[in-house]
Chain A
Amino acid sequence: MLVRRFPRAVGSLPLLVAFVREFFAEHHLDPEQAYDVDLVLEELFTNMVRHARGGTPEIEVGLALDGNTLTMRLRDEGVEPWDPGQAPAVDVNRPLEERRPGGLGLHFIRQVARDLRFEHVDGATVVTAVLEVAR
Protein backbone atom coordinates (compact mmCIF):
# COMPACT_ATOMS: atom_id res chain seq x y z
CA MET A 1 0.00 0.00 0.00
CA LEU A 2 1.29 3.44 -0.96
CA VAL A 3 0.98 5.52 2.23
CA ARG A 4 1.48 9.23 2.85
CA ARG A 5 0.53 11.79 5.47
CA PHE A 6 -1.16 15.09 4.68
CA PRO A 7 -1.72 18.24 6.77
CA ARG A 8 -5.17 18.31 8.38
CA ALA A 9 -6.50 21.12 6.16
CA VAL A 10 -8.79 21.55 3.17
CA GLY A 11 -5.79 23.16 1.51
CA SER A 12 -4.27 19.67 1.24
CA LEU A 13 -6.71 18.72 -1.54
CA PRO A 14 -4.31 19.50 -4.43
CA LEU A 15 -1.71 17.31 -2.69
CA LEU A 16 -4.25 14.48 -2.53
CA VAL A 17 -4.96 14.82 -6.26
CA ALA A 18 -1.22 14.66 -6.99
CA PHE A 19 -0.94 11.58 -4.75
CA VAL A 20 -3.74 9.82 -6.65
CA ARG A 21 -2.10 10.71 -10.01
CA GLU A 22 1.22 9.32 -8.76
CA PHE A 23 -0.52 6.09 -7.72
CA PHE A 24 -2.31 5.82 -11.07
CA ALA A 25 0.95 6.34 -12.97
CA GLU A 26 2.74 3.75 -10.82
CA HIS A 27 0.05 1.19 -11.65
CA HIS A 28 -0.37 2.25 -15.30
CA LEU A 29 -3.99 3.22 -14.73
CA ASP A 30 -5.73 5.67 -17.04
CA PRO A 31 -5.89 9.04 -15.21
CA GLU A 32 -9.31 9.54 -16.85
CA GLN A 33 -10.50 6.88 -14.39
CA ALA A 34 -9.36 8.89 -11.37
CA TYR A 35 -12.53 10.95 -10.92
CA ASP A 36 -14.30 8.59 -8.52
CA VAL A 37 -11.11 8.04 -6.52
CA ASP A 38 -10.62 11.81 -6.19
CA LEU A 39 -14.25 12.21 -5.15
CA VAL A 40 -14.25 9.52 -2.45
CA LEU A 41 -10.88 10.66 -1.09
CA GLU A 42 -11.91 14.32 -0.95
CA GLU A 43 -15.21 13.57 0.77
CA LEU A 44 -13.60 11.32 3.40
CA PHE A 45 -10.63 13.63 4.00
CA THR A 46 -12.69 16.83 4.31
CA ASN A 47 -15.10 14.99 6.64
CA MET A 48 -12.17 14.29 8.95
CA VAL A 49 -10.85 17.85 8.68
CA ARG A 50 -14.22 19.44 9.42
CA HIS A 51 -15.89 17.06 11.85
CA ALA A 52 -13.35 14.96 13.77
CA ARG A 53 -12.65 16.20 17.31
CA GLY A 54 -9.01 16.29 18.36
CA GLY A 55 -6.49 14.60 16.13
CA THR A 56 -2.85 14.90 15.16
CA PRO A 57 -1.72 17.59 12.68
CA GLU A 58 -1.69 15.08 9.82
CA ILE A 59 -4.02 12.44 8.38
CA GLU A 60 -2.59 9.27 6.86
CA VAL A 61 -3.85 8.15 3.44
CA GLY A 62 -3.08 4.80 1.82
CA LEU A 63 -3.94 3.39 -1.62
CA ALA A 64 -3.55 -0.20 -2.80
CA LEU A 65 -4.50 -2.04 -5.98
CA ASP A 66 -5.36 -5.71 -6.40
CA GLY A 67 -6.54 -6.47 -9.93
CA ASN A 68 -9.29 -3.97 -10.62
CA THR A 69 -9.99 -3.40 -6.92
CA LEU A 70 -8.63 -0.22 -5.39
CA THR A 71 -8.57 0.01 -1.59
CA MET A 72 -8.34 3.44 0.05
CA ARG A 73 -7.57 3.75 3.76
CA LEU A 74 -7.57 6.94 5.83
CA ARG A 75 -6.19 6.81 9.37
CA ASP A 76 -6.96 9.68 11.73
CA GLU A 77 -5.08 9.38 15.04
CA GLY A 78 -5.96 10.92 18.39
CA VAL A 79 -9.60 11.63 17.58
CA GLU A 80 -12.74 10.85 19.53
CA PRO A 81 -14.67 7.87 18.15
CA TRP A 82 -17.04 8.90 15.40
CA ASP A 83 -18.82 7.11 12.61
CA PRO A 84 -20.32 9.31 9.91
CA GLY A 85 -21.64 6.10 8.38
CA GLN A 86 -24.43 6.24 10.96
CA ALA A 87 -25.71 9.58 9.60
CA PRO A 88 -29.20 9.35 8.07
CA ALA A 89 -29.37 8.98 4.31
CA VAL A 90 -29.91 12.26 2.47
CA ASP A 91 -33.16 12.63 0.51
CA VAL A 92 -32.16 13.93 -2.93
CA ASN A 93 -35.78 14.02 -4.09
CA ARG A 94 -36.92 16.87 -1.86
CA PRO A 95 -38.21 20.07 -3.51
CA LEU A 96 -35.53 22.65 -4.34
CA GLU A 97 -36.31 25.05 -1.50
CA GLU A 98 -36.09 22.25 1.07
CA ARG A 99 -32.73 21.02 -0.16
CA ARG A 100 -29.62 21.41 2.01
CA PRO A 101 -26.08 20.44 0.93
CA GLY A 102 -25.29 18.54 4.15
CA GLY A 103 -24.82 14.78 3.88
CA LEU A 104 -24.15 14.73 0.16
CA GLY A 105 -20.50 13.70 0.53
CA LEU A 106 -21.33 10.39 2.15
CA HIS A 107 -24.18 9.93 -0.33
CA PHE A 108 -21.72 10.35 -3.24
CA ILE A 109 -19.31 7.84 -1.70
CA ARG A 110 -22.10 5.30 -1.43
CA GLN A 111 -22.88 5.82 -5.12
CA VAL A 112 -19.37 5.02 -6.36
CA ALA A 113 -17.70 2.83 -3.70
CA ARG A 114 -18.33 -0.91 -3.53
CA ASP A 115 -17.68 -1.00 0.21
CA LEU A 116 -17.23 1.57 3.00
CA ARG A 117 -16.18 0.75 6.56
CA PHE A 118 -15.52 2.90 9.64
CA GLU A 119 -13.56 1.55 12.62
CA HIS A 120 -12.10 3.08 15.78
CA VAL A 121 -8.97 1.23 16.88
CA ASP A 122 -6.44 2.31 19.55
CA GLY A 123 -7.51 5.95 19.45
CA ALA A 124 -7.58 6.17 15.66
CA THR A 125 -10.50 6.32 13.27
CA VAL A 126 -9.76 4.15 10.24
CA VAL A 127 -11.97 4.49 7.18
CA THR A 128 -11.66 1.99 4.34
CA ALA A 129 -13.33 2.43 0.96
CA VAL A 130 -13.18 -0.07 -1.89
CA LEU A 131 -13.69 0.98 -5.52
CA GLU A 132 -13.51 -0.74 -8.87
CA VAL A 133 -11.19 0.84 -11.46
CA ALA A 134 -11.00 0.04 -15.18
CA ARG A 135 -7.58 -1.04 -16.48
Chain B
Amino acid sequence: MFRIDAAGDGAVRLIGRLDGAEAERAVASFAALEGSIVADCSELDYISSAGIGVILATLQRLTRAGHTFRLHPVQPRVRNVFKYAGLAQMLGID
Protein backbone atom coordinates (compact mmCIF):
# COMPACT_ATOMS: atom_id res chain seq x y z
CA MET B 1 0.00 0.00 0.00
CA PHE B 2 1.03 3.59 -0.56
CA ARG B 3 -0.33 6.89 0.67
CA ILE B 4 0.54 10.58 0.83
CA ASP B 5 -0.10 12.38 4.12
CA ALA B 6 -0.24 16.19 4.05
CA ALA B 7 1.52 17.84 6.99
CA GLY B 8 0.79 21.46 6.00
CA ASP B 9 2.90 24.31 4.58
CA GLY B 10 4.07 22.24 1.62
CA ALA B 11 5.24 19.35 3.77
CA VAL B 12 3.99 15.87 2.91
CA ARG B 13 4.93 12.32 3.84
CA LEU B 14 5.19 9.50 1.32
CA ILE B 15 4.42 6.21 3.05
CA GLY B 16 4.58 2.60 1.87
CA ARG B 17 5.52 0.97 -1.43
CA LEU B 18 5.29 2.98 -4.64
CA ASP B 19 5.28 0.07 -7.11
CA GLY B 20 3.62 -0.40 -10.48
CA ALA B 21 0.19 -1.07 -9.03
CA GLU B 22 0.25 1.72 -6.45
CA ALA B 23 1.77 4.30 -8.82
CA GLU B 24 -1.30 4.14 -11.08
CA ARG B 25 -3.56 4.78 -8.10
CA ALA B 26 -1.30 7.58 -6.78
CA VAL B 27 -1.30 9.69 -9.96
CA ALA B 28 -4.26 11.81 -8.83
CA SER B 29 -2.75 12.38 -5.37
CA PHE B 30 0.53 13.62 -6.85
CA ALA B 31 -1.36 15.78 -9.37
CA ALA B 32 -3.07 17.51 -6.43
CA LEU B 33 0.25 18.71 -4.97
CA GLU B 34 0.67 22.46 -5.48
CA GLY B 35 3.36 25.00 -4.59
CA SER B 36 6.82 24.07 -3.36
CA ILE B 37 6.84 20.67 -1.69
CA VAL B 38 9.17 18.91 0.74
CA ALA B 39 8.33 15.21 0.95
CA ASP B 40 9.48 13.18 3.95
CA CYS B 41 10.33 9.75 2.50
CA SER B 42 11.60 8.15 5.71
CA GLU B 43 8.64 5.71 5.51
CA LEU B 44 8.80 5.19 1.76
CA ASP B 45 10.00 1.59 1.75
CA TYR B 46 10.20 0.86 -1.98
CA ILE B 47 10.03 2.54 -5.37
CA SER B 48 10.28 1.10 -8.89
CA SER B 49 10.40 2.70 -12.35
CA ALA B 50 6.62 3.19 -12.23
CA GLY B 51 6.92 5.22 -9.03
CA ILE B 52 9.87 7.14 -10.43
CA GLY B 53 7.68 8.07 -13.40
CA VAL B 54 5.07 9.68 -11.15
CA ILE B 55 7.76 11.53 -9.16
CA LEU B 56 9.41 12.72 -12.39
CA ALA B 57 6.11 14.03 -13.78
CA THR B 58 5.46 15.87 -10.50
CA LEU B 59 8.95 17.37 -10.46
CA GLN B 60 8.57 18.57 -14.05
CA ARG B 61 5.12 20.07 -13.41
CA LEU B 62 6.12 21.90 -10.23
CA THR B 63 9.40 23.14 -11.74
CA ARG B 64 7.58 24.54 -14.79
CA ALA B 65 5.29 26.41 -12.37
CA GLY B 66 8.33 27.95 -10.65
CA HIS B 67 8.15 25.76 -7.55
CA THR B 68 10.53 23.22 -6.01
CA PHE B 69 10.04 19.55 -5.14
CA ARG B 70 12.45 18.07 -2.61
CA LEU B 71 12.59 14.62 -1.00
CA HIS B 72 14.12 14.49 2.48
CA PRO B 73 14.97 12.26 4.23
CA VAL B 74 15.10 9.19 1.97
CA GLN B 75 15.91 5.59 2.91
CA PRO B 76 19.24 4.33 1.48
CA ARG B 77 17.83 1.68 -0.88
CA VAL B 78 15.19 4.08 -2.23
CA ARG B 79 17.90 6.71 -2.61
CA ASN B 80 19.88 4.26 -4.75
CA VAL B 81 16.98 4.00 -7.21
CA PHE B 82 16.79 7.80 -7.54
CA LYS B 83 20.53 7.80 -8.20
CA TYR B 84 20.18 5.10 -10.87
CA ALA B 85 17.50 7.30 -12.47
CA GLY B 86 19.75 10.37 -12.42
CA LEU B 87 17.19 12.29 -10.36
CA ALA B 88 18.78 12.41 -6.90
CA GLN B 89 20.40 15.80 -7.32
CA MET B 90 17.31 17.33 -8.96
CA LEU B 91 15.21 16.24 -5.99
CA GLY B 92 17.68 17.49 -3.38
CA ILE B 93 18.57 13.97 -2.25
CA ASP B 94 21.99 13.76 -0.58
Contact = CB atoms under 8 A, between A and B. Distances in A.
Contacts of A38: 46, 48
Contacts of B19: 13, 42
Contact-size category for A: 20 to 34
Nearest to B55: A101
B90 A96 contact: yes
Most buried by B among A10, A101, A107: A101
Most buried by A among B17, B64, B84: B84
B24 interface: yes
Contacts of B20: 10, 13, 42, 46
B90 A104 contact: no
B48 A42 contact: yes
Interface residues of B, number: 24
B77 interface: yes
A10 B49 contact: no
A76 B29 CA distance: 34
Given A14-B21, A42-B19, A101 B60 contact: no
Given A13-B21, A42-B19, A108 B84 contact: yes
B11 interface: no
A46 B57 CA distance: 20
A96 B60 contact: yes
B81 interface: yes
Interface of A: 10-11, 13-14, 17, 35, 38-39, 42-43, 46, 92-94, 96-97, 99, 101, 104-105, 107-108, 111
